[in-house]
Structure 1
Amino acid sequence: MDIRGATRSLLVLTGRVINDVVSFIVFCFLDLLDVLLCFVYKILDFFMEAEWKPCYCSSGKEAITSSGKILVSERGESKIISLSSTKLQLEDISDTLYSRPSLVSEISKSTIKELKRLKIDGTTIRSSERIKNGTLRSTFTINSTIVDMLQEKIGGQQLHPVPRWSDCDCRACTSWSSSCKETLYVRVEGPSRDKAREDVLFIHGFISSSVFWTETLFPNFSDDTKSSYRLIAIDLLGFGRSPKPTDSLYTLREHVEMIERSVLEAYKVKSFHIVAHSLGCILALAIAVKYPGAVKSLTLLAPPYFPVPKGEQANRYVLRKVAPRRVWPLIVFGSSIVCWYEHISRTACLIVCKNHHFWESLTKLVTRNRMRTFMFDGFFCHTHNAAWHTLHNIICGTAGKVDEYLDAVRDQLRCDVTVFHGRDDELLPVECSYAVQSRIPRADVKVIDRKDHLTIVIGRQKTFARELEEIWKKSSSG
């Protein structure tokens, strides 16, 4: 037994060393390739769209300010100014958008100097941090002259910008541009509001859409559930059939407000259950904290929660955990490319997302139409701009807020909290769910053997549908 154990340890160590060496070589090459693609896309963008498009790797903060937004820094964190009536709101964005050192030169950079006062045309604007309705914001009091100036600058953006040449322009992906409503795509099944016992809001994860739920869970709910609950699944901003504005930074505020406008207000939802997967768990927590008395139960699948050690910069720490720049496992390799390389990931979107109908047809041809292809609509109907900003501003950018959200759920909400996680999840380890439980002791963590980040639902949809029904019945009877 000792010899076998020693041999196994040696093989594990050897595999780890090989993975580290190969990863170093591969990602050094990808660092150079991304720089090359930066120049290639600048030339292509100029010929296709008649203007140079700033990017984060070469222009840094210019990519943000060029869209008419104002970028400031406060306490070492980056924020943009958004205008609402006679107030300016500081909106958090992630530094990882424009500060991702190469593997060779990954040296900690000094944090941005603290900005306590912002002067616009000689007027000092005093900022104050506060938590309001579960969302961390900073507000400014300014005079009407400055408001008019910023309205002219910020308000001059197009409501329905033309899709970029590298994005898919098929009817499904651009259906939102022909609508006069600025709302998400919402799929609703079940009785009307007057006849429904309760509502259930389903929030998908990163690079996904509502079909993740509607093609798996919805057909497998019992007749009693279908006749009693109003099941509401959404496509998040930038994904599926929802709007994909090219000038959006896809911040937490934008995502939450779109859900409020498209679901809670449009369908007059008063009390509801939430079921969320992966990145959607962060949005679910933000909504739950904002509506503590309305949430009946909170079900999280593979939540991306990494407690940040003291002294670490939260967003960069989470970036390294989610995308550790390793070639193995493959899902981690893919995550690392998507997170670290702006132009390589854009190339992937150009090849896959822009041509998703081709890949769907090819799959049907090869499998002789024996394979369901709903995953193509679910995972390939998004733009690079939406995926890039959502990943960095939600998963990385909210790293410093998740602790506050979890504490608020623990102290302010009385609903049941259930967490599901696949034991074989190689993207987000099961420790993420146990970390949630350490913050919310009443959370019930269920670890599913031989299931990963996707098969926690896909492949066990009948079982999971029954589990959800039990959760809803228990919370209603309690």
Structure 2
Amino acid sequence: MLTVSFFPGKWVRKWARSIHYALTLIVFLFLDLLDTILCVVCHYLDEFFEGKTSPCYCAGEGQQGNNVIGVLGIDGEIQVSESLYRRKNPFRETGFLGFPRQFLDSKKKGICDGAVMNRWSDCGCESCVSWINCRDHKLHVEVRETSSQGRIEENCKEKPTENVIFIHGFLSSSSFWTESVLQHLSEFKKGKYKLFSVDLLGFGRSPKPRECFYTLRDHVEMIEKSVILPFNINHFHLVAHSMGCIIALALAAKYPKYARSLTLVSPPIFPSSKDGASLAALEKLAEKKLWPPLAFGSSVMSWYEHIGRCICFLVCRNHRTWERILKLLTPNRHLHFMIMDLTRHTHHSAWHSMHNVICGGAKFTDGYLAMLIKYGVKICVVQGDEDPVVPSECWNYIKKKYPDVEVNMVAKADHTSVVFGREKDLIQNLDKLWIKSAADTTRT
């Protein structure tokens, strides 16, 4: 008997993929056009409200002019990411709609005088601009100290303190650590620690200067200025999450003799190469796709400078209004700290940190890891196996190329739950690592 088999499921999936691909192409082509139009609109609005236009990266490489020259990293290389000025946009490339690049270039006059002030499109509330009145700009730092019994004590007469610096990730603040791990101080039972949790430059309650490029060097120098020098620290452990892992690597590479251990939670570390590493990181971390919503939002905010600025204008500039609305919708009228942190930045600080740290740092991480391993710094990676932000390629690469790095996979954990809800497990692992690395340092 002759039978004929049909596979409707196969054809349905094929058509679904084709439709999804076409929709993705159309949506992002529209966003390319919209970002080109908003580029012109933002330039005229900047000139109207501030008297001078603010530079952007739409014209490609070299558009920022002499300001970029001399932005050098720890290893002497320029740290302005190629992902800023090599993002392709078919409408900008052709000078579409009668807005040729040459016309916009002739209108650009550089950043406004008094560049420390916030832009007209940024929030001007007291909590967002209070740093401007401070004469000596430093990061906001939360400091906790615990005795070997887990209590917070002053002038505790015990063995020398182990210093630990906690660094948060993108669109976050020191609350990421103070409201999670540092809430469990009683778990630190094997040593006396001084714990520093910082708000990175451009985030939380720290300064958000608009003349800054927010490069790795900028972030490292501010931690140095705000923590290492004023507290006279000559040895430390580092614990970092997400984007903070790149900054922690750069900080440890600058002070390899001071760094005793490095714990990287969900690190976005990719195989690096001198040419194209930053663009490759951008395409992998913020691939242009419509689904899931988190991925779509990440791609829009990472690829489209002016659309992102408009979204920040609607959300961040009006964060107090949105917070009041959300509080009315919550039973206890209390917002989670992560919701509050999402708006505590400027578009300028978030845009440049995203590109110059996460993407731009891709070409430096291999060198940093190799240096730290050479100096005997203990490195531990903690990674959730269901992380939708950092692809498995990152930790697989670390495991294969750097066998001296300890990689701990956390089952059923995503980008944030790898910490939240698992604080005690993380604390126990940290405590063991710090004690072991401190003992090894003492023996050597």
TM-score w.r.t. length of structure 2: 0.83
CA contact (8 A) 1:296 1:415 kept: yes
- The residue that corresponds to 1:188 in the other structure is 143
1:339-364 Cα distance to aligned partner (Å, 9 max, x none): 11001111121122112222222222
CA distance in 1, matches of 2:9, 2:343: 40
- The residue that corresponds to 1:139 in the other structure is none
- The residue that corresponds to 2:249 in the other structure is 285
Deviation at 1:213, TM superposition (A): 0.8
CA distance in 1, matches of 2:190, 2:330: 33
Deviation at 1:372, TM superposition (A): 3.9
Q: Are 2:380 and 1:418 equivalent residues in the alignment? A: yes
CA distance in 2, matches of 1:274, 1:459: 21
Deviation at 1:465, TM superposition (A): 2.9
Alignment of 1:27-42 (within 5 A): 27-42=28-43
Match of residue 447, structure 1, among 387, 409, 412: 409
Identity of aligned residues (%): 42
Larger CA deviation: 211-220 vs 464-473:
464-473
Which stretches of structure 1, 4 residues or longer, exceed 6 Å deviation after superposition? 6-12, 103-106
TM-score w.r.t. length of structure 1: 0.78
**Aligned AA for 1:102?**
N
Deviation at 1:17, TM superposition (A): 4.2
Alignment of 1:163-312 (within 5 A): 163-190=118-145, 197-222=161-186, 224-225=188-189, 228-308=192-272
Alignment of 1:386-401 (within 5 A): 386-401=349-364
**Aligned AA for 1:201?**
I
Q: Are 2:438 and 1:476 equivalent residues in the alignment? A: yes
CA distance in 1, matches of 2:170, 2:25: 26
Aligned length: 406
- The residue that corresponds to 1:92 in the other structure is 79
Where do 5+ consecutive residues of structure 2 fail to align? 1-6, 94-109, 147-153
Q: Kindly tell me: are residues 465 and 21 of structure 1, through their superposed partners in 2, closer, same or farther at Cα, counting changes over 3 Å?
A: farther
Q: Kindly tell me: are residues 465 and 348 of structure 1, through their superposed partners in 2, closer, same or farther at Cα, counting changes over 3 Å?
A: farther
- The residue that corresponds to 2:312 in the other structure is 349
Q: Kindly tell me: are residues 370 and 170 of structure 1, through their superposed partners in 2, closer, same or farther at Cα, counting changes over 3 Å?
A: closer
Deviation at 1:432, TM superposition (A): 0.6
Deviation at 1:468, TM superposition (A): 2.3
Q: CA RMSD in A?
A: 2.9
Deviation at 1:8, TM superposition (A): 8.2
Q: Kindly tell me: are residues 370 and 10 of structure 1, through their superposed partners in 2, closer, same or farther at Cα, counting changes over 3 Å?
A: farther
CA distance in 2, matches of 1:103, 1:194: 64
Deviation at 1:251, TM superposition (A): 1.4
Q: Residue 417 of structure 1 aligns to a residue in which SS?
A: strand
- The residue that corresponds to 1:47 in the other structure is 48
CA contact (8 A) 2:190 2:435 kept: no
- The residue that corresponds to 1:361 in the other structure is 324
Deviation at 1:226, TM superposition (A): 10
Larger CA deviation: 427-436 vs 223-232:
223-232
**Aligned AA for 1:96?**
S
Q: Kindly tell me: are residues 304 and 9 of structure 1, through their superposed partners in 2, closer, same or farther at Cα, counting changes over 3 Å?
A: farther
Deviation at 1:25, TM superposition (A): 1.6
- The residue that corresponds to 2:89 in the other structure is 102
Quick check: which one's strand share is greater? 1
Q: Kindly tell me: are residues 332 and 268 of structure 1, through their superposed partners in 2, closer, same or farther at Cα, counting changes over 3 Å?
A: same
CA distance in 2, matches of 1:346, 1:234: 25
CA distance in 2, matches of 1:230, 1:477: 17
Where do 5+ consecutive residues of structure 1 fail to align? 1-5, 72-79, 84-88, 107-153
CA distance in 1, matches of 2:420, 2:139: 24
Match of residue 70, structure 2, among 75, 81, 91: 81
Deviation at 1:459, TM superposition (A): 3.2
Match of residue 458, structure 1, among 411, 417, 420: 420
- The residue that corresponds to 2:394 in the other structure is 432
**Aligned AA for 2:415?**
H
- The residue that corresponds to 1:3 in the other structure is none
Deviation at 1:194, TM superposition (A): 7.5
CA distance in 1, matches of 2:315, 2:138: 26
CA distance in 2, matches of 1:46, 1:397: 30
Larger CA deviation: 357-366 vs 386-395:
357-366
CA distance in 2, matches of 1:416, 1:251: 25
Deviation at 1:328, TM superposition (A): 1.5
1:222-259 Cα distance to aligned partner (Å, 9 max, x none): 26459821110111111111111111111111111111
CA distance in 2, matches of 1:204, 1:240: 10
CA distance in 2, matches of 1:105, 1:438: 41
CA distance in 2, matches of 1:103, 1:326: 18
Q: Residue 58 of structure 2 aligns to a residue in which SS?
A: helix
Q: Kindly tell me: are residues 289 and 15 of structure 1, through their superposed partners in 2, closer, same or farther at Cα, counting changes over 3 Å?
A: farther
Q: Kindly tell me: are residues 199 and 244 of structure 1, through their superposed partners in 2, closer, same or farther at Cα, counting changes over 3 Å?
A: same
